[in-house]
Amino acid sequence: MLQAFLQNIINGMAQGSVYALVALGYTMVYGVLQFINFAHSDIFMLGAFGGFFLAKWLSPFISNPLILLMAVVIGSMAFCVAVGLTIERIAYRPLRTAPRLNVLITAIGVSLFLENFGQIIFGADPQVFPSLISTHSLLEGEGLVLNNIQLTVVVVSVLLMLILHWIVRHTKLGIAMRAVSFDIEVANLMGIPTDTIILFTFTIGSSLAGAASILYGLSYPKIEPLLGMMIGLKAFVAAVFGGIGSIMGAAVGGIVLGLAESFTVYYVSSTFRDAIAFGILILILLFRPAGLFGTFRREKV
Amino acid sequence: MTTLSVKTVFRLGLMVGIFITLFNTGCVKKEGATSGASSNIASGNEILVGEYGSMTGSESTFGVSTHKGILMALDEVNKAGGVNGKKLVLKSYDDQGQAAEAVTIITKLISQDKVSLILGEVASSRSIAAGAIAQQYKIPMVSPSSTNPKVTQVGDYIFRVCFIDPFQGSVMARFAINNLKLKRAAVFRDIKADYSVGLANFFVEEYKKMGGEIVADVSYASGDMDFKSQLTSIKGKNPDVLFIPGYYTEVGLVARQARELGLKAVLLGGDGWDSEKLTEIGGDAVVGGYFSNHYSHEDQSPVVQNFVAQFKSRYGEIPSGLAAQGYDAAMVAVGAMKRASELSPKAFREAIAQTKNFQGVTGMITINEERNAVKPAVVLKVVGRQKFSYITTINP
């Protein structure tokens, strides 16, 4: 029983770290602009496809799997950043002074556009994400299995979150981001180039989505244009759970959601997996609308 | 400005609600009268045959393979002079693998294109949904590969040229016990697919009847990506065989994760495995698995070899079981049209019902009183990337 419990923790952590990485994108944009960037999940999807094509093109030239993986991750992150910035520039910036609801509807529109665009370009048929690194077990004790991909997913996620934490806490850029998040108008008056800071926020959020999409593709090698939908929703739940606007909250929320799902499926039934995820959302909205870490006005980035 | 009030969050919640609804609402168009769609076959030199299938979507290889088989059959018939001098014209639409879409499309085929016979679908859930419409308008429908018993129970205008789940499920149960001699089985079913649930139920029944033990019976839902929790619980029960009667996209992922978790059981499945994508997604994890199917291109009988050669020269690929089924469905339908007393949907129905010992590519086909085909099944083994080898034939 203990093994199964530990195994579920491993499985849940791996799944949860992907949620967490995507959740960070939601939470950061929310922190700065106070709206949910629904297109974020589709940036994630585009990242997976970017990685898919990049791996296809690069694999004849790069034989070392580790370098290939690095190249694909960085390439996919760059691609996601380009997409994220384009969306910000075209769809969101013109609405900077418009009511928040308008921006939200625009975000849904962009999301739908990207999904249908993806279906036209890539086809609705799922593609097989290439296995860039071969899977092997690192630990195979009494019924407990941890493979290199799961470990990579968790380690890379934690590493990225630490880097993000450092940027927000200890760099000038981070201070500026926090200032913008605190009050965009006053920050502007203080000479902070708010538009640039917002672009940086999108850059960081989108690059995390790009990294997450490759980690996801490695674990579940089936990608399709509607891939982002469910993950986006789950990540959003994770962000709200942790307290939208809080970086710590998104990280913890993602992991907790991954674990909750894993345990639900194991101890209850797979039928309840999504019910649990969205049940958490409803409970949080009812009893603690600010989420676990989101207190009013505290550290929103 | 930046204060996060309860009201804001509620508003966000509402937005998410709208967002979810936007994506999950399929719209079903109802059109045309409830009955009396007449076909204009008496006049003109053409007989319109309708086809609906999943040409895109996550099971697109099913629809595309079937379509190729059907197209080849109809071309062959037309080249040989058609049916009573009339040319067969195929009207083919994509249902994107969605039951709601299948319903819309079959309505369009009947009331707008006025076809007099319909071929489709592969997936049982879509055949059941669309079959109800065909039955309502009294247009005969022949499903090439829907194996769930409920499909032909929809009504007396619905037929199929394949065996049904009880047979497929029991074939694999018998195979596991008689051929593999493995007596501890776990079942991992897709609760969202009628097909999978049907196969699983009949596997469990037959397996127990033959003295085997079902040590675990758990489920997933098609579209899931992560199966590790369920597989962890299956692994704890230590089964000899794992029966996964799902479709290839999920089966590939399930197999992969099962092996990653160190689950060593022999994998078994049904004809939902039959796709070149199975090994693409599942990789080495699915190698060594067995699944039941309608035919094997390795079968040395002249009918099969002739079909394989023609299909290869036309499409440059080896026909899958689904292509052979599509071909047979079309041929059974054409055979019935030729025998029919007149060229009307009603007469076609009568003739299809009387099909007896029809030599199809997938075996000798007889349509029984439940409008199902009685015919043998083959068991194939996954031996390598996109390589399935013929193991044995199991008769009804």
- Chains A, B: CB contacts within 8 A come to 133
Nearest CA in chain B to A301: B2
Q: CB A271 to CB B221 under 8 A?
A: yes
Contacts of A22 in chain B (CB under 8 A): none
The closest CB to that of A4, out of B224, B225, B236, belongs to B236
Mean pLDDT of B296-305: 87
Burial B166-186 (b: 16+ CB within 10 A, else e): bbbbbbbbbbbbeeeebbbbb
pTM of the predicted model as reported, rounded to 2 decimal places: 0.74
Q: How far apart are CA B23 and CA B223, in angstroms?
A: 15
pLDDT band at A272 (very low <50, low <70, confident <90, very high): confident
- Summarize pLDDT for B52-83 with one digit per residue, the tens: 999 888 788 889 999 999 999 999 999 999 89
pLDDT the model gives residue B14: 57
pLDDT band at B27 (very low <50, low <70, confident <90, very high): very low
- Mean of per-residue pLDDT scores for chain B: 87
Residue A182, C-beta contacts closer than 8 angstroms, at least 6 positions apart: A297, A300, B2
> B-contacting residues of A 2-21, CB under 8 Å?
4, 7-8, 11, 15
> For residue A19, which amino acid is it?
Y
- Summarize pLDDT for A186-213 with one digit per residue, the tens: 999 999 999 999 999 999 999 999 999 9
- Mean of per-residue pLDDT scores for chain A: 88
> For residue B94, which amino acid is it?
D
pLDDT band at A301 (very low <50, low <70, confident <90, very high): low
Domains of chain B: 46-163+301-375 (3.40.50.2300), 166-293 (3.40.50.2300)
**Domain coordinates in residue numbering, chain A:** 15-132+149-287
pLDDT for A125 beyond 80: no
pLDDT the model gives residue B68: 95
Please spell the DSSP secondary structure of A237-295, one letter per residue. HHHHHH-TT-HHHHHHHHHHHHHHHHHIIIII-GGGHHHHHHHHHHHHHHH-TTTTT--
Strands (E), B200-295: 213-220, 241-243, 266-269, 290-293
Is B264 touching A (CB cutoff 8 A)? Answer: no
The closest CB to that of A126, out of B6, B58, B235, belongs to B58
pLDDT the model gives residue A140: 67
Is B226 touching A (CB cutoff 8 A)? Answer: yes
Of the candidate ranges A14-18, A105-109, A165-169, A267-271, the one whose mean pLDDT is the lowest: A267-271
Q: How far apart are CA B64 and CA B70, in angstroms?
A: 10
Percent of chain A with pLDDT over 70: 96
- Summarize pLDDT for B236-245 with one digit per residue, the tens: 899 999 999 9
Is B14 touching A (CB cutoff 8 A)? Answer: no
Q: How far apart are CA B120 and CA B124, in angstroms?
A: 10
Residue B219, C-beta contacts closer than 8 angstroms, at least 6 positions apart: A269, A270, A271, B188, B189, B190, B191, B230
Within chain A, where are the H helices? 2-33, 40-58, 65-87, 100-122, 148-170, 172-182, 184-189, 194-219, 227-242, 247-263, 273-287
Percent of chain A with pLDDT over 90: 48
Is A181 touching B (CB cutoff 8 A)? Answer: yes
The closest CB to that of B260, out of A135, A229, A285, belongs to A135
**Of residues A293 and B315, which shows the higher confidence score?**
B315
Q: How far apart are CA B366 and CA B265, in angstroms?
A: 36
- The two tokens of residue A282 are 């409803």
pLDDT band at B31 (very low <50, low <70, confident <90, very high): very low
pLDDT for B269 beyond 90: yes
A15-132+149-287 fold? ABC transporter involved in vitamin B12 uptake, BtuC (1.10.3470)
Nearest CA in chain B to A216: B225
pLDDT for B19 beyond 70: no
Contacts of B233 in chain A (CB under 8 A): 4, 266
Q: Determine how β-strand B387-394 pairs with β-strand B377-384.
A: antiparallel
pLDDT for B139 beyond 60: yes
pLDDT the model gives residue B147: 86
pLDDT for A143 beyond 70: no
Q: Among B229, B237, B260, which would you mutate to test the A interface (most chain A Cβ atoms within 10 Å of its Cβ)?
A: B229
pLDDT band at B2 (very low <50, low <70, confident <90, very high): very low
Contact call for residues B270 and B168 (beta carbons, < 8 A): yes
The closest CB to that of A145, out of B219, B256, B260, belongs to B260
Q: Among A42, A220, A229, A300, which would you mutate to test the B interface (most chain B Cβ atoms within 10 Å of its Cβ)?
A: A220
pLDDT the model gives residue A147: 83
Q: How far apart are CA B15 and CA B51, in angstroms?
A: 40
pLDDT for B30 beyond 70: no
Contact call for residues A115 and A122 (beta carbons, < 8 A): no
pLDDT the model gives residue A295: 58
Identify which of A164, A157, A171 has the alpha carbon closest to the alpha carbon of residue A235. A157
Q: How far apart are CA A16 and CA A223, in angstroms?
A: 18
pLDDT the model gives residue A296: 52
Q: CB B229 to CB A285 under 8 A?
A: no
Mean pLDDT of B310-332: 93
Q: For residue B114, which phi and psi values (nearest 5 degrees)?
A: 55, 55
> A-contacting residues of B 49-78, CB under 8 Å?
56-58, 60-61
Please give, rounded to a whole number of angstroms, the shortest distance from the CA of B220 to a CA of chain A.
6
Tell the burial category of A274 from Cβ atoms under 10 Å away from its Cβ (0-12, 13-18, 19+): middle
Residue B366, C-beta contacts closer than 8 angstroms, at least 6 positions apart: B355, B356, B357, B358, B373, B374, B375
pLDDT the model gives residue B393: 85
- Summarize pLDDT for B178-231 with one digit per residue, the tens: 999 999 999 999 998 888 998 999 999 999 999 999 999 999 988 888 898 899
End-to-end CA distance of chain A: 41
pLDDT the model gives residue A124: 77
Contacts of A112 in chain B (CB under 8 A): 22
Q: How far apart are CA A23 and CA B187, in angstroms?
A: 35
- Summarize pLDDT for B355-383 with one digit per residue, the tens: 999 999 998 899 999 999 988 899 999 99
Contacts of A230 in chain B (CB under 8 A): 223
pLDDT the model gives residue B1: 38
Mean pLDDT of A72-88: 95
Q: CB B262 to CB A145 under 8 A?
A: yes
pLDDT band at B137 (very low <50, low <70, confident <90, very high): very high
pLDDT for A146 beyond 60: yes
Residue B185, C-beta contacts closer than 8 angstroms, at least 6 positions apart: B173, B176, B203, B207, B212, B213, B214, B215, B239, B240, B241, B242, B243
Checking ipTM against 0.90, whether it exceeds it is no
pLDDT for B28 beyond 50: no
Q: Determine how β-strand B241-243 pairs with β-strand B358-360.
A: unpaired
End-to-end CA distance of chain B: 73
**Of residues A294 and A270, which shows the higher confidence score?**
A270
pLDDT for B282 beyond 60: yes
